[in-house]
Amino acid sequence: MKTSFSLFLLPVIIGLSSCSSNKKNAEWVISTENEQWMMQEPIVPTSFQEGTTVDATINLQSSQQIIDGFGACFNELGWTSLSLLSKADRETIMKELFQPGNGANFTICRMPIGANDFSRDWYSYNENDKDFAMEAFSVKNDEQTLIPFIKEAQQYYPKLKIWASPWCPPSWMKYNKHYASAYNDNHPVEKFRNGLPADKQGREGTDMFVQDPAYLQEYTLYFSKFIDAYKEYGINIFAVMPQNEFNSAQVFPSCCWTSASLANFIGKYLGPTMESKGVELMFGTMERANEALVDTILLDPAAGKYVKGVGFQWAGKGSIPGIHKRYPDLKLYQTEQECGDGQNNWKSALYSWNLMKHYLNSGASAYMYWNISLEEGGVSRWGWAQNSLVVVNPETKAYRFTPEYYIMKHASCYIKPGAKKLTIEGEYTNLVAFQNPDGKIVVVMVNEEPGENSFNLNIAGQVYSAKLPEGGIATLVI
């Protein structure tokens, strides 16, 4: 038995009637496990009839957050994988990702400050112990990877917004004097071991960064020099977050902080400096379902005045709804999509859809995927297999876009910066809806029910009828 879903959208313009002169065909596209991005014949609407069942109401007169955009993270292994391809193939991919009107339309992306788990190896911009003047500071490493990666994206979208966060400070700024925070020298594969002694591990709820004013001041200078260095390459960093996953002691570059110490760092050091440079400061990234950790920062008199927003990822998805409810005007970002297992299958794609839906329904203004590109298998420098938007075969020098890419594209291709998220009411909830600045309505929906299902969308007195296969995702633009 097929299920019928009817979505009722209130008029964009008061007094809009259901007469034939107001009929607008709906553009729509479908992706399934077996075939992605299938453009369909435009849907010709029929007049709405009394008695039609309404399973979801999309209220164009009740909007929510404004969307900043969609994107991903520039990682070193993303560039090294793309560099295996021909110049023509790499250009095709970058156009698809960043050229407006061409594909994914990415407009906002993240990058690391120094090494992260998908770097070629550990590094920072200054490993000279106690170089408090930062005389040895250098981004020369990035000239081989991150800088050309970003510059190529800028060729297709010069207005690309980029924000940055460290996974780890220079190792000499940590109490354990090591880039890692968790022991893994019992790893069965020697090349994935990090060399951290077991008695030097960090743990959640402690500070691994040296909480000395001289170190905090010089770490602020480190941020400042990073921003200035990248500006010399024509790359403007519009915002920073002080620490990736500040609760997590990881086997790869990482550094635990307490939220109280981050409040001190932001309020006395990083916040004033970033404000003077015209760079936004956001708190994050938040990877725990513990709203009190965010409250510690936002309610701190010194730190709170500098925080322009908060970023959430992984288990942080459990804290974003409550934070949005208590701070409805605060900008919230989803900062890193959960990474999968390197299989890049449709099951992961549907999981990604539900993550995206959760964050957008919880007030997120930006949604960012994690790895743009990886070699087949997606294994990091520290042995973790993950998914990506593009997979490169290092032997054949061929590439493919993954199912999760199409999940992203179904939203990012059509939902423009400045779009307003729209309120939805009713029993059918497996969808999100937006109104772009030009007035167009974008509805992204998924059928996770058994079998093919019919969807009837009532928009301003016009009914748009479409069928969506089991496990399929569709975008309609009206």
Q: Which residue type, as a one-letter code, is found at position 55?
A: D
> Residue 10 burial (CB < 10 Å; 0-12/13-18/19+)?
middle
- What does the pLDDT look like over 183-197, one tens digit per residue? 999 999 999 999 999
pLDDT of the residue at 13: 29
> Is the pLDDT assigned to residue 471 strictly greater than 90?
yes
The pLDDT of residue 454 is: 83
Position 12 pLDDT exceeds 70 = no
Is 451 a residue whose pLDDT tops 60?
Answer: yes
Measured CA angle at 236 (ends 235, 241), to 5 deg: 120
The DSSP bridge pattern shows strands 280-286 and 420-426 to be unpaired
Q: Please name the residue that has the structure tokens 């008199």.
A: 301
pLDDT digits (tens, 9 = 90+) for 116-168: 999 999 999 999 999 999 999 999 999 999 999 999 999 999 999 999 999 99
Contacts of 423 (CB under 8 A, 6+ apart): 58, 59, 62, 63, 64
Rounded mean pLDDT, 54-58:
74
What band does 1 get if pLDDT is binned at 50, 70 and 90? Answer: very low
Provide the pLDDT for residue 21.
39
Burial 304-334 (b: 16+ CB within 10 A, else e): bebbebbbbbbbbbbbbbbbbeebeebbbbb
Q: What are phi and psi of 289, to 5 degrees?
A: -85, 55
> What does each C-alpha distance from 99 to 91, 96, 300 come to in angstroms?
10, 6, 41
- The Cα 378–Cα 407 span in angstroms is 19
Using pLDDT thresholds of 50, 70 and 90, give the confidence band for residue 51.
Answer: confident
CA 442 to chain centre: 20
Q: Write the CA distances from 364 to 54, 93, 165, integer angstroms.
A: 27, 27, 18
For 235-292, write each residue's pLDDT tens digit.
Answer: 999 999 999 999 999 999 999 999 999 999 999 999 999 999 999 999 999 999 999 9
Q: Is the pLDDT of residue 363 over 90?
A: yes
Percentage of the chain modeled with pLDDT above 90: 86
CB-neighbour burial class of residue 173 (10 A; exposed 0-12, middle 13-18, buried 19+): buried
- In the predicted model, what is the mean pLDDT of the chain? 93
Q: How far apart are CA 377 and CA 212, in angstroms?
A: 42
Q: State pLDDT tens for residues 174-230.
A: 999 999 999 999 999 999 999 999 999 999 999 999 999 999 999 999 999 999 999
**Omega of the bond prior to 285 within 30 degrees of 0, cis?**
yes
Query: Are 472 and 21 a contacting pair, CB within 8 Å?
Result: no
pLDDT given at position 49: 75
pLDDT at res. 181:
98
- The mean pLDDT of 307-328, rounded to a whole number, is 98
Reading the block at residue 248, the tokens are 């997590």
Task: Over range 306-328, report the average pLDDT.
Answer: 98
Whether the predicted pLDDT of 20 surpasses 50: no
CB-based burial label for 167 (10 Å; 0-12, 13-18, 19+) = buried
Residue 24 CB neighbours (<10 A): 17
Least confident of 18-27, 105-114, 387-396: 18-27
Beta strand pairing call for 161-165 and 46-47: unpaired
pTM of this structure:
0.95
Concatenating the DSSP letter of every residue in 217-270 gives: HHHHHHHHHHHHHHHHTT--EEEE-S-TTTT---SSS-----HHHHHHHIIIII
Q: In this structure, which amino acid lies at residue 459? A: I
What is the structure's pLDDT at 22? 60
Please state the rounded mean pLDDT for residues 422-448: 92
Q: Which of 298, 295, 300, 332 minimizes the C-alpha distance to 317?
A: 332
**Helix, strand, or coil (residue 141):** helix
